[in-house]
Structure 1
């Protein structure tokens, strides 16, 4: 494979074998951790929810632990990738981030997110979302091996560390940090920045949907009443 011509995916430094459609698709999929970080920043800026901020803090901690482990273990990447990017590859940061995210979100679906609908429908969509999260994590993990950025050992250890940290961070957040959110939300700095606590609302999407619909109907009736006068 030494004669493979590698091509960088546009606007990134993720390379794939030139002319390899599967490699190109996997290169795109390996950008998922970047999309997650962008999504976190966007949600924090527009929703300003304490749980989202805490989740993002866990993701950053996960990345910091990965960097520390890489320099402690100091295992090089596959030899074809030496000198191109960061020297060490154990454990895979992409695999660790994706499995941290998937583990946390699956636990969030099980223990935090509820909907006022039939139990069967609720279970069905939770299973679908969980399967999609796990599948995405598998695809990103496989892409790092396929594109020769990591060995199987590096991505599997990354997955294991990510799952452990995801479970641990969710447990810490759910049992210890969430009870403190109402206090933190009352701080002056949080009021100034409009940082809120929605931890007591079972399903924030359903809550915002129903309240927006109710408010819109009330305003429509008020507008119609004003026009009729």
Structure 2
């Protein structure tokens, strides 16, 4: 009876061998899951934002994987066999490292977008309009006392002075307007540097776990960087030639509500400003309703 039992197989997609007695090996095992986590992030952003730039970057990521598969089949270099852990780790060829190529493409393509293509600006109907609305509730007076420009998004100094002069309510309103500012260049540089550090850690983990040699990882990093720059150039041509705009007018893109706003808008900012304007209008209507309801209540008494 026991001989009829079919042996189970292991799904190697997330199966990582590591030394449980080594904290760095344990950390490396988690770093090996970063590409899978990034795929989940891509899918989540595609579904929640429907942004063309996210779709293009994900398409480039898949193209980079196809290049990695082609290179492995072409070079046919085996994985390292230096110790027992490596003898059980990884199937297929090891040159170049697919993990290294994946994360470096993501880091390079994301950095090029943030530093070159992404040019967010404060829309005329956004924070300035919200600032004018908030001014009616005390923010404008506090901001004016702080030396701020009327109708402009307040600075952190304005927030502090608003608290001193207008109390907690004015400071809260001021902080809301301040926190809605898009990332500046320094912040985008910091995020890009963090992405490159994560990519470097993932690449290092492949050598530490024994899945790849240093040469295979460096080759993967180089291939990922080249693919990232090349794909950025391709997407630039798609925009410049009007092919992206043409694609966004196709019925399928319209049906899925694909849009191209993230180049000029912050992902969190785009919908928030619409909500903030609507919220302020609702509060203003509520205050008017209370003012109109007060005298009527007095007459009934």
**Alignment TM class, shorter chain as reference:** 0.7 to 0.9
Within the candidate set 59, 62, 70, 1:60 is matched to 62
Aligned match of 2:212: 150
Count of aligned positions: 218
Q: Following the alignment from structure 1 to structure 2, what is the Cα–Cα distance between the partners of residues 200 and 152?
A: 37
Aligned match of 1:3: none
Deviation at 1:174, TM superposition (A): 2.0
1:162-201 maps to which residues of 2 (within 5 A)?
A: 162-177=224-239, 179-198=242-261, 201=264
Report the CA distance shift for 1:176/1:199 in structure 2 as closer, same or farther (over 3 A). farther
Is the contact between residue 94 and residue 216 of structure 2 (CA under 8 Å) also seen in structure 1? yes
CA offsets 1:60-85 (integer angstroms, 9 cap, x no match): 01001101111111100011434643
Aligned match of 1:15: 17
Flag structure 1 segments of 5+ consecutive residues without an equivalent. 1-7
Deviation at 1:135, TM superposition (A): 0.5
Deviation at 1:199, TM superposition (A): 5.7
- Indicate yes or no: 2:275 matched with 1:212: yes
Flag structure 2 segments of 5+ consecutive residues without an equivalent. 1-9, 123-154, 156-182, 294-301
Bigger shift: residues 125-134 or 184-193: 184-193
CA offsets 1:16-55 (integer angstroms, 9 cap, x no match): 1121111111211121111111110111111111111111
Is the contact between residue 115 and residue 206 of structure 1 (CA under 8 Å) also seen in structure 2? no
Is the contact between residue 23 and residue 146 of structure 1 (CA under 8 Å) also seen in structure 2? yes
Deviation at 1:176, TM superposition (A): 2.2
1:1-229 maps to which residues of 2 (within 5 A)?
A: 12-79=14-81, 80=83, 81-82=86-87, 84-116=89-121, 122-177=184-239, 179-198=242-261, 201-222=264-285, 225=288
Deviation at 1:58, TM superposition (A): 0.4
Bigger shift: residues 190-199 or 69-78: 190-199
Deviation at 1:200, TM superposition (A): 5.6
TM-score, normalising length from structure 1?
0.85
Q: Following the alignment from structure 1 to structure 2, what is the Cα–Cα distance between the partners of residues 161 and 217?
A: 50
Q: Following the alignment from structure 1 to structure 2, what is the Cα–Cα distance between the partners of residues 56 and 223?
A: 45
When the two chains are superposed, the root-mean-square deviation of aligned CA atoms in Å is 2.5
Bigger shift: residues 206-215 or 132-141: 206-215
Q: Following the alignment from structure 1 to structure 2, what is the Cα–Cα distance between the partners of residues 190 and 18?
A: 48
Deviation at 1:147, TM superposition (A): 0.3
The structure with more radius of gyration: 2
Q: Following the alignment from structure 1 to structure 2, what is the Cα–Cα distance between the partners of residues 163 and 141?
A: 13
